Structure 1
Amino acid sequence: MSESKRVRVDPVTDGSEPNELGIFNERVLVLVFESIKWDLPTLCKTASVCRKLRALTMRLLWREMCVYRAPRMVSALTNGGPSSRVAGGWLALAKLLFFCCGCDSTRNFQVGRTIPGHFVKESRFSKTSGRSFLTRTCRSDLLYVSDPCEHAKTDQEEDLGVYRGIFGRFLKSRTRACLVGRGLELEERVRCPYCGARLDNYNEKVDENRM
């Protein structure tokens, strides 16, 4: 991807100390990862070297990786502004891009066996696909949804497709207003595998005429 086509949320500012050299220099690290196209395994290993590199990765490198891998989605989620923040943090967004959390049974959704999570080499997220998950009155909301990650089940069952998605400005969305208005309960003991937030119970029976 050429520099002219990259969508940058916020220019990289060299926050390194004047005497920081080598791998602790932010500018050097960004240039190195740009040269290897923000390779995910290398970035994970870098974050595990020491606390200083972990802090630098959390503050800067995860953001830069997300901007490189999904520039349009990041621009839409941040409203193209200079704040450079997303709900849940950049690490959560990076995990969403490249990790399928698998599936386990809940009180409203039963699977024959637990499907473990796993990394994926690449993902395509689309707000057009996201609209298909929204009711008619909520289709002005911004929702990005991935292509399904297919998981084989037993011989008698069809494959299970696991989707991943992220809302933009969820607190102000019509979807949230609808959920709050219906008083839907949160799932017991279930949290988002990416940001840790409690999950709304979308499986409660609702009156479709009010959607």
Structure 2
Amino acid sequence: MKKADVFEFYRRLAEADPSPQTELNYVNPYTLLVAVALSAQATDVGVNKATGPLFAKVTTPQAMLELGEDGLKQHIKTIGLFNTKAKNVIAAAQILVDKYGGEVPRDRAALEELPGVGRKTANVVMNTAFGAETIAVDTHIFRVSNRTGLAPGKNVLQVELKLEKVTPKPFLQGAHHWLILHGRYICKARKPECWRCPVADLCAYRPKTPAPMP
């Protein structure tokens, strides 16, 4: 995608949604960290159903430790891989209490040292909680980047680094949210809804999906 088209691509997404937000519910940086860790191989809707009651009780690593692994499992048992996730969340809470005074670090390397936290989760927390210009590449962003020609890559790290390179500075902080929402609701996996896409004319995908018959 040409440089001018990349700028226009983001400009249109920003015009349609000036203040994009994560669809995961959270109270503070710690609950965001937990929510994102729980969302691996799960839907935001499913995670929000489980964390609503959980975050009414637990908003700090210390409170999570007091709840305990078994107590946490009772809250998140509807989420896939809940046994492993509960173990990781409790282990991460212990590290946060012992090493960081119960605060969530703003550094990617420090975040990635926490059990159950990979680069994608770290990028989401840095971006959403602390305003860092990071882009967390999930399946939606990977698909949109390759399908449109915005930032083609063979793996998520390639796409992430290319997005950081081609995304104009004014759009860097919001890029993660615009791309994930675009992939979730318009540029869908099975059939992109090109007929209602605001950036269809800038996109390399062919043939465009026609509007459904009335």
Fold in common (TM above 0.5): no
Pick the structure with more helix per residue: 2
TM-score, normalisation: structure 2: 0.24
Higher RCO (CA 8 Å, separation ≥ 6 residues): 2
Pick the structure with more strand per residue: 1
Higher alpha-carbon Rg: 1
